Chains A and B, each alone.
Chain A
């Protein structure tokens, strides 16, 4: 059953060592994604979105992170059993990533042509000449004007939007099966964001790539996602199709998020709904529902952990004892 799906994360629990002891960063994460689809991973800062992505890529700091349990199946193989060298063959080739900060994700001392061509040289074994030709083609695909001469430019000579296009070109150079986009437009202006969203969408359609879209912006989720997983304090608390999540949010946290953002049609001056309190500290974990102390529905039952949603169940589920109350 695991073979059917492009990506399936089972019961994945991850801990970090820090000078204040060990803490759990991700707890029993279950996620799944099929080819060509888009999954949005949504949550506030510190909830574990980016760590989930780094786990899939095998980019966790080895000295601090420990996988407590679970599996990450990619095309049927458990990535956690891979040797470092085998992972390196997959990373940037079958699974690629776009990072949030287009200013720092590129190497400042290499031309952008070299940085795109590197993917072809390493993963496909092409010659320098041929790789550069392919890089020009790829830069043309991400709509960088005049790519033939732009390949000789350095990152500092490009605007933020152009740099993000270069990152996308690098990520998609080998036509990966899975693209992880970690807040790809957060550092960009809205008119540039729209350009990048359209580009990712178009290329995804053309190449049939599956995309994990990590964001905290619910507008982007509504625009891009097929399915949505909401994260809170290292757990997935709600999962379902994008229309289900927006039309009938089940978890009190999701409901709170959706009502607390001012929308373009929110009446002016009226009180915004708020979620009281703040996200719990990572050192302050307990067995029950992590949202308990901020939740309007919190009751005694919440001291035991609610059942987590199952991926691929085809259902819209929330980890809450009072979903239908």
Chain B
């Protein structure tokens, strides 16, 4: 499989301005040296708690934010510093589905004008009749009845609105779709409808997904590989099944054990991770997780562990000084 998207040493630091002169007082370190590769046709899940930088990563990739440093390659072409027409062309290939199906659609536009907008802006189709035909095709693709074409967003349920959001993202026939918490605002009985739709569309259109979520069961269901983020860093990146069977990073382990399973026979197994996530304005000097980690050593507090390759059966990447000794002591 070919690499379709590559992120290299991506930084996103937001300045904090203060005082009368609006001088830079400090930075929010939202993303720190993020490296990842997305293969064509795969679904990469990104998980982590709020404020860990999941959405910032998505926005930096599609250039809703300008990254502070680093490169983003789409099909081998650097896109993080493109402007004007070049950026527009690149964006055709990479589109985004947003979390909030209520806030992400313009309430004053009909479904037709919402879905026609990207087609017009990118001059994908020219005549009015063609635009209408494309819009109807898109609606059919996501399972919306075509006779709803003149309705406004408020006339739809949350699940249907999310279908409109998905149709809009697919209007330009993108290669890569970034879905930022696409089901977390939906009711449980609707979530599964949308997840099935996303899976069907992926097969039908040969899409590549970056799927951001905090619900691990959802990510496990949909993703091939999973990146776990903590305080602006990727701490573990491995195949979905490996990650869930044998998480290596202490944070991933704690995360998996803090979610109650929908099975009363397994109750009482929650492991409580003490403390709060540190502020991204003053991240710890060493490993970002060192303040809450049960296994942190002197080195962890002083130095930042690099994201290293793991070879062998449990292949993937991990940023932890101690994971080897941890797995050994557990095995013994």
**Interface on A for B, CB 8 Å cutoff?**
44-45, 159, 161-162, 189-195, 197-198, 216-225, 242-243, 246, 256-258, 260-264, 266, 268-269, 271-275, 278-279
Q: Which of B244, B268, B272 has the most CB of A within 10 A?
A: B272
Q: Which residues of A contact B189 (CB under 8 A)?
A: 44, 256-257, 260, 274-275, 279
Whether the pair A261, B192 counts as a contact (CB closer than 8 A) is yes
Stretch of B13-21, B24-32, B127-135, B212-220 at the chain-chain interface: B212-220
Contact flag A260-B274 (CB < 8 Å), given A191-B254, A272-B196: no
Q: Which residues of A contact B214 (CB under 8 A)?
A: 189-190
Give CA–CA (A217, B274) in the complex, Å: 22
Whether the pair B260, A266 counts as a contact (CB closer than 8 A) is no
Whether the pair A194, B192 counts as a contact (CB closer than 8 A) is no
Q: Which residues of B contact A278 (CB under 8 A)?
A: 157, 159-160, 190
Q: Which residues of B contact A45 (CB under 8 A)?
A: 187
B145 at the A interface (CB under 8 A): no
Give CA–CA (A159, B50) in the complex, Å: 12
Give CA–CA (A243, B265) in the complex, Å: 8
**Interface on B for A, CB 8 Å cutoff?**
49-50, 157, 159-160, 187-193, 195-196, 199, 214, 216-218, 220-224, 240-241, 244, 254-255, 258-268, 270-274, 276-277
Apart from A198-B270, A261-B262: 6 A-B pairs, beta carbons within 8 A: A162-B276, A194-B273, A195-B272, A198-B272, A223-B264, A257-B188
Give CA–CA (A111, B270) in the complex, Å: 32
**Closest 8 A/B residue pairs (Cβ):** A223-B260, A262-B221, A194-B258, A189-B49, A219-B260, A260-B192, A218-B262, A272-B192
Contact flag A272-B259 (CB < 8 Å), given A192-B276, A216-B187, A260-B189: no
The chain A residue with its CB closest to the CB of B50 is A189
Distance to closest chain A CB from B179 (angstroms): 15
Whether the pair B255, A262 counts as a contact (CB closer than 8 A) is no
Distance to closest chain A CB from B43 (angstroms): 9
Whether the pair A266, B221 counts as a contact (CB closer than 8 A) is yes
Distance to closest chain B CB from A279 (angstroms): 7
Distance to closest chain A CB from B45 (angstroms): 11
Distance to closest chain B CB from A290 (angstroms): 14
Whether the pair A268, B270 counts as a contact (CB closer than 8 A) is no
Whether the pair A266, B264 counts as a contact (CB closer than 8 A) is no
Q: Which residues of B contact A257 (CB under 8 A)?
A: 188-189
Whether the pair B217, A266 counts as a contact (CB closer than 8 A) is yes
Q: Which residues of B contact A260 (CB under 8 A)?
A: 188-189, 191-192
Q: Which of A224, A243, A260 has the most CB of B within 10 A?
A: A260
Q: Which residues of A contact B259 (CB under 8 A)?
A: 190, 194, 219, 264
Give CA–CA (A249, B154) in the complex, Å: 34
What would be 7 A-B contacts, judged by CB atoms less than 8 Å apart?
A194-B259, A194-B273, A223-B264, A246-B262, A273-B192, A274-B189, A279-B187
Whether the pair B49, A191 counts as a contact (CB closer than 8 A) is yes
Give CA–CA (A161, B274) in the complex, Å: 11
Q: Which residues of A contact B271 (CB under 8 A)?
A: 194
Q: Which of B157, B190, B274 has the most CB of A within 10 A?
A: B190
Give CA–CA (A222, B266) in the complex, Å: 8
Give CA–CA (A198, B255) in the complex, Å: 15
Whether the pair B196, A268 counts as a contact (CB closer than 8 A) is no
From A159, A162, A225, A264, give the contact of B217 (CB < 8 A).
A264
The chain A residue with its CB closest to the CB of B200 is A271
Q: Which residues of B contact A266 (CB under 8 A)?
A: 217, 220-221
Q: Which residues of A contact B221 (CB under 8 A)?
A: 262, 266, 268-269, 272
The chain A residue with its CB closest to the CB of B185 is A45
From A192, A195, A222, A268, give the contact of B260 (CB < 8 A).
A222
The chain A residue with its CB closest to the CB of B256 is A264
The chain B residue with its CB closest to the CB of A281 is B157
Give CA–CA (A268, B262) in the complex, Å: 18
Whether the pair A268, B241 counts as a contact (CB closer than 8 A) is yes
Q: Which residues of B contact A218 (CB under 8 A)?
A: 188, 262
The chain A residue with its CB closest to the CB of B159 is A278
Q: Which residues of A contact B268 (CB under 8 A)?
A: 223
Q: Which residues of A contact B240 (CB under 8 A)?
A: 268
Whether the pair B217, A261 counts as a contact (CB closer than 8 A) is yes
Whether the pair B217, A263 counts as a contact (CB closer than 8 A) is yes
Q: Which residues of B contact A246 (CB under 8 A)?
A: 262-265
Give CA–CA (A223, B271) in the complex, Å: 12
Q: Which residues of A contact B244 (CB under 8 A)?
A: 264
Give CA–CA (A198, B274) in the complex, Å: 11
Contact flag A271-B263 (CB < 8 Å), given A45-B187, A260-B188: no
Give CA–CA (A14, B330) in the complex, Å: 56
Whether the pair B192, A161 counts as a contact (CB closer than 8 A) is no
Q: Which residues of A contact B264 (CB under 8 A)?
A: 221-223, 225, 242-243, 246
